Amino acid sequence: MNYKLLFSHRKLWTLGRRRSTSRLHEGIRVSGQALFSSCSPKVCVVGSGPGGFYTAQHLIKARPDVELDIYERLPVPFGLVRFGVAPDHPEVKNVINTFTQTAKHSRCNFYGNVNVGRDVTINELKEAYHAVVLSYGAEGNRTMGVPGEDLAGVYAAKDFVGWYNGLPNCRELNPDLSCETAVILGQGNVALDVARILLAPISMLKSTDITQPALEALAQSQVRRVLIVGRRGPLQIACTIKEIREMVNLPGTKPEMLPADFEGISEVLKDVPRPRKRLTELMLKTALETPGEKELERRKSASRSWGFRFFRSPVEVLAEPRTNKTSAIRLAVNRLEGSGADAQAVLTGEVEDVTCGLVISSIGYRSLLIDPGLPFDSRKAIIPNSMGRIQHTPGVYCSGWVKTGPTGVIATTMNNSFDTARSMMEDMDSGALDVSAVKSGSQSITALLRGRGVKPVTFADWEKIDSVETKKGEAEGKPREKLLSVEEMLQVAQT
C-alpha cells in the first residue's frame, strides 16, 4: 500500500471538511492547481436581526450543502433583539442563544461593519453569490405629517428606544424629560414599552441592560404622567395583553382612563375573538371597575399615572410662546365607521389641546431603499415580493420587515423568514435559481472590502465585544453595559 499517497488523500479530505474561518478559497490548491472546486450553493444575507438569522437558520438546517455569509452594517449582530427589545424584557432576548448557534455553524460566517449599498453593492453581491437575501429591517421613521413635529421635545419612538437601548446613532439624543406630561402617539407594543420605561421605578431598571446615560437621565426625569393616544378605539388597539398587564401592575403608578372611551364596548364583546376579548376585558376592568381595597390603596399611594386616549389623531404640536419648545399637542376627535379590525377613524371636526412637554411618535418604522437598482414600494416602504422572491430581480430575496413592513412580534418574523428560505430552496430544486456555477462568495467580497479600506468584524471579534460588555455589566450588577459608539466597538474587536 502506498502510505504516502494515502496520507496525502487523508490530509486533503480533512482540510476539505475543516471549517475555513475566512472562506477565502474555492477549493484546496497544491502548487497553484485546484484539486477540487466547491459547487455548494453560496448565499449571503444582508442584515443580522431576527429576519436575517431566522432565514440563515432555516437554510443551514434544510440544505446541508449551503454555505452562508451574513453581512451587517454595525460591528455587532442581532439587530432589533439588541436595540429594540425593552431592557426589562430579558426573556425575549434569549433568542440570541439560537442566533449564536447559527453564526458559529461551520457553514456560516458573520461579517459586521459592512454597509451594503455603500461599502459593497447589491450587484457585486449577486456576482459573488448564487442568492442574496435582504433582511436589513426598517431603520427609518414614519412621520406624523403635522405642523410642529420638528419642535424640541418631539421624538420618534424608534430613536427614543435606540437611545435607551444603546443604538450608536441615537446615543446623542439626550431627550428633555423635564416636563410633567408626556404624550405617546400610537398604541402598539413599542408605545407601551416607551410608556413603561418612562414611568418605571429606577430600582426596576438598574438591573437591566439599559444604558447608563439613559438610566441617569430617567433617574432625574420629571415625567409623572403618560398618555398613550390612538386614532381608533379599544377594540382596535395594537398591543398585546402582556404589555397592558405590565402597565396595570407597574409599581408606583395608577391608571387614568376616560370612561366615555369605553361606551358600548361591553355589548359587543361576545362576538370578539377570545384573545381580543381578554385584552379588552382587562382594559374595561382597569377603566371602569371600582378597585378592591388593596388595589385602591396602591393607587392612592402612586405618584405617577398613565392612560389610554382613544379616538384621537394629532393635528399640530404647539410651541411655547417665542420658543421652539413643545408646550402642547392638538388632537382631532374621531368617530369610527365600521367595526372590528376594519373600522376606520373619521374626523368629527372637534379638537382638543393636551398640555405636554414631550411627544413621542410611535406610529411605525419604515424600511429604506439601499440600492437604486432594486424595486421599492415607497408607499408601503417594503420591497415588492412574492413569498420573499423580489419582483423582477432573479436571485434576490427578502425577509423580515423589509419584506412585510414593521408588523408582528419576533415569532411573526421567524415564520415569514422561514417562508423566504423555503422559496429559495424551491427555486434551487426547480432550477429557477441556478446553483451549478462556481461562485467566489466571501473570497471576492472580502478582497473588495479590503481594497476599499473596510475591515469586517467576524463573530469571534463580536465575542470580544460581548465579553467586555458583560464584564462591565457585572461590575454594575447588570447583564451587560453596552458599548455606545462604533469606534469603541471596533477598538475592542480589533484588539
**Nine cell digits for residue 9:** 488523500
> Measured on CA atoms in the order 403, 404, 406, 407, is the torsion positive or negative?
negative
Among residues 364, 391, 424, the one where a domain terminates is 364
CA neighbor of 276 nearest in space, from 231, 232, 239, 229: 239
Specify whether 242 is located in the same domain as 385. no
21 inside domain: no
Report the pLDDT value the prediction gives residue 278, as an integer from 0 to 100.
95
Summarize the confidence of residues 288-293 as an average pLDDT. 92
Bigger pLDDT: 296 vs 16: 296
486 inside domain: no
Q: Residue 318: which region, alpha, beta or left (left: phi > 0; alpha: psi -120 to 50)?
A: beta
**Tens digits of per-residue pLDDT, 164-191?**
999 999 999 999 999 999 999 999 999 9
**Nine cell digits for residue 21:** 474561518
Q: Which of 3-12, 32-41, 351-360, 466-475 has the lowest mean pLDDT?
A: 3-12
pLDDT band at residue 228 using 50, 70 and 90 as cut-offs: very high
**Tens digits of per-residue pLDDT, 417-472?**
999 999 999 999 999 999 999 999 999 999 999 999 999 999 999 999 999 999 99
Report the pLDDT value the prediction gives residue 144, as an integer from 0 to 100.
92
Summarize the confidence of residues 69-95 as an average pLDDT. 96
Report the pLDDT value the prediction gives residue 165, as an integer from 0 to 100.
98
pLDDT band at residue 232 using 50, 70 and 90 as cut-offs: very high
| Distance (Å, whole) CA 310 – CA 328 | 18
Report the pLDDT value the prediction gives residue 28, as an integer from 0 to 100.
33
Residue 167 sits in a domain whose CATH number is: 3.50.50.60
Are the C-beta atoms of 230 and 237 separated by less than 8 Å? Answer: yes
467 inside domain: no
Q: Residue 405: which region, alpha, beta or left (left: phi > 0; alpha: psi -120 to 50)?
A: left
**Tens digits of per-residue pLDDT, 138-165?**
888 888 999 999 999 999 999 999 999 9
Those residues whose C-beta lies under 8 Å from the C-beta of residue 298, and which sit 6 or more positions away, are 254
Length of the chain in terms of residues written: 495
Report the pLDDT value the prediction gives residue 32, as an integer from 0 to 100.
31
326 inside domain: yes
298 inside domain: yes
Are the C-beta atoms of 208 and 90 separated by less than 8 Å? Answer: yes
Summarize the confidence of residues 279-303 as an average pLDDT. 94
Specify whether 158 is located in the same domain as 296. yes
Report the pLDDT value the prediction gives residue 19, as an integer from 0 to 100.
38
Report the pLDDT value the prediction gives residue 120, as an integer from 0 to 100.
97
Contacts of 34-37 with C-beta under 8 Å, sequence gap 24+, read 37/438
User: Is 294 strand, coil or helix?
Assistant: helix
Report the pLDDT value the prediction gives residue 340, as an integer from 0 to 100.
81
Among residues 340, 364, 388, the one where a domain terminates is 364
Burial (CB count within 10 angstroms: exposed 0-12, middle 13-18, buried 19+), residue 146: middle
| Distance (Å, whole) CA 308 – CA 338 | 21
Share of the chain above pLDDT 90, in %: 85
Number of structural domains (the chain) is: 2
Specify whether 310 is located in the same domain as 176. yes
Please give the model's pTM, rounded to 2 decimal places.
0.89
Residue 74 sits in a domain whose CATH number is: 3.40.50.720
| Distance (Å, whole) CA 276 – CA 282 | 10
Specify whether 279 is located in the same domain as 332. yes
Q: State the residue range of the domain holding 406.
A: 34-139+367-457
- Report in angstroms the alpha-carbon separations of 304 from 142, 183, 201, 301: 29, 14, 10, 9
Q: Which of 23-37, 74-88, 336-350, 367-381 has the lowest mean pLDDT?
A: 23-37
User: Is 49 strand, coil or helix?
Assistant: coil
31: number of Cβ within 10 Å: 5
Question: In whole angstroms, how large is the CA radius of gyration of the chain?
Answer: 26
**Nine cell digits for residue 115:** 454597509
Share of the chain above pLDDT 70, in %: 92
Specify whether 336 is located in the same domain as 402. no
CA neighbor of 409 nearest in space, from 72, 94, 84: 84
Among residues 315, 347, 364, the one where a domain terminates is 364
196 inside domain: yes
pLDDT band at residue 247 using 50, 70 and 90 as cut-offs: very high
- Tell me the three-class secondary structure of 344-385, residue by residue: EEEEEEEEEEEECCEEEECCCEECCCCCCCCCCECCCCECCE
pLDDT band at residue 409 using 50, 70 and 90 as cut-offs: confident
Specify whether 183 is located in the same domain as 274. yes
pLDDT band at residue 322 using 50, 70 and 90 as cut-offs: confident
Specify whether 132 is located in the same domain as 148. no
- Report in angstroms the alpha-carbon separations of 280 from 36, 232, 263, 274: 64, 14, 12, 10
> Measured on CA atoms in the order 358, 359, 365, 370, is the torsion positive or negative?
negative
- Report in angstroms the alpha-carbon separations of 388 from 90, 181, 307, 333: 30, 43, 39, 39
| Distance (Å, whole) CA 149 – CA 135 | 30
Specify whether 249 is located in the same domain as 355. yes
Specify whether 339 is located in the same domain as 438. no
pLDDT band at residue 23 using 50, 70 and 90 as cut-offs: very low
Report the pLDDT value the prediction gives residue 2, as an integer from 0 to 100.
41
28 inside domain: no
Q: Does position 378 have pLDDT exceeding 50, yes or no?
A: yes
**Tens digits of per-residue pLDDT, 97-137?**
999 999 999 999 999 999 999 999 999 999 999 999 999 99
Are the C-beta atoms of 375 and 392 separated by less than 8 Å? Answer: yes
Specify whether 227 is located in the same domain as 174. yes
Specify whether 285 is located in the same domain as 371. no
**Nine cell digits for residue 62:** 434544510
Mean pLDDT (the chain) is 91
Cα 19 from chain centroid (whole Å): 31
Summarize the confidence of residues 374-394 as an average pLDDT. 94
**Tens digits of per-residue pLDDT, 199-219?**
999 999 999 999 999 999 999
Are the C-beta atoms of 250 and 202 separated by less than 8 Å? Answer: no
9 inside domain: no
Specify whether 131 is located in the same domain as 155. no
